[in-house]
Structure 1
Amino acid sequence: MDLSKPGTPSVTQRLPERVVFAGVVGAMLPLLHIGWALLGAALADESRCGHFGCIEPLVEAWEIGRWLVPVLAWPLLGLLRVRPAWHVALVAPLFLVPLWELSARPEMLFGVLSTVLAYPFAALVTAPGASWRQRGLGVALFLLLCGALAVPG
């Protein structure tokens, strides 16, 4: 995008759009994750089923999908014009892993929907042309969220 053309939005004007679209990608990723886990359970070998039915392949597919699905974030971010998409895709797991670890159980609703929070934080922190104040604000808000999750009760 050539920012020298008149009428072209500046980087700071596109920052809210970038954060919102990263949140949309974050909302799409749990759906892909659930789809991956269900596909893994549907294609599971019947001989691996235990006493409680075929739950083991579902859990295994869920764990694999936890790391596979964020790889799909890069093309999705690019599709929604969050550029450079690979910056957000690489930084988002740094926000995701603490949220997964601090949530009571990763398969709970917050653990699944943590991508809705992690990708906007990553988009804010990696925004081209963002000031250090904006980046610091994103990291501070994330650390405040992690602190709130770490407090028991």
Structure 2
Amino acid sequence: MTKAYTLQEATRKLENYCAYQERCHHEVVRKLKSMRMIPEAIDQITVHLIDNNYLNEERFAKSFARGKFNIKKWGRKRITAELKQRQISRFNIKTALQEIDENAYLETFDALARKRVVQITEKNRLKRRKKLADYLLYRGWESHMVYEKIKELVP
């Protein structure tokens, strides 16, 4: 049996939830539903979190994009897809992607591709190319960049 929360308890719990790490509206609503809060309470708490700056979709999107690029080395396509999955608006996705410096983006892509091509032990040239392509595309790098880099690294 899950604990029943009062509006104040749930609000405090969600303030802490949002203060610990940036969250999107989707995550907050899911958390409140898991706490068995009624729709009116969910709306009220969500409005409170937004009004008190615990919940900010643009800030979340920017932080998410920076983190996934810098730490996980994801490309723009993967970041965009993940943000869409979290129901972030197209405007906020566009704003978030502007957080990524173009030079850093290209340097990271080059370094990632070069590091990966050395790790691939496959002798067959076509299989090597496919493995490198699969790796980079899965990470969300743009296909035109991937195929040009493959021509360069696995001639």
Shorter-chain TM-score tier: 0.3 to 0.5
The structure showing larger relative contact order (alpha-carbon pairs under 8 Å, at least 6 residues apart) is 1
TM-score using structure 2 length: 0.32
TM-score using structure 1 length: 0.33
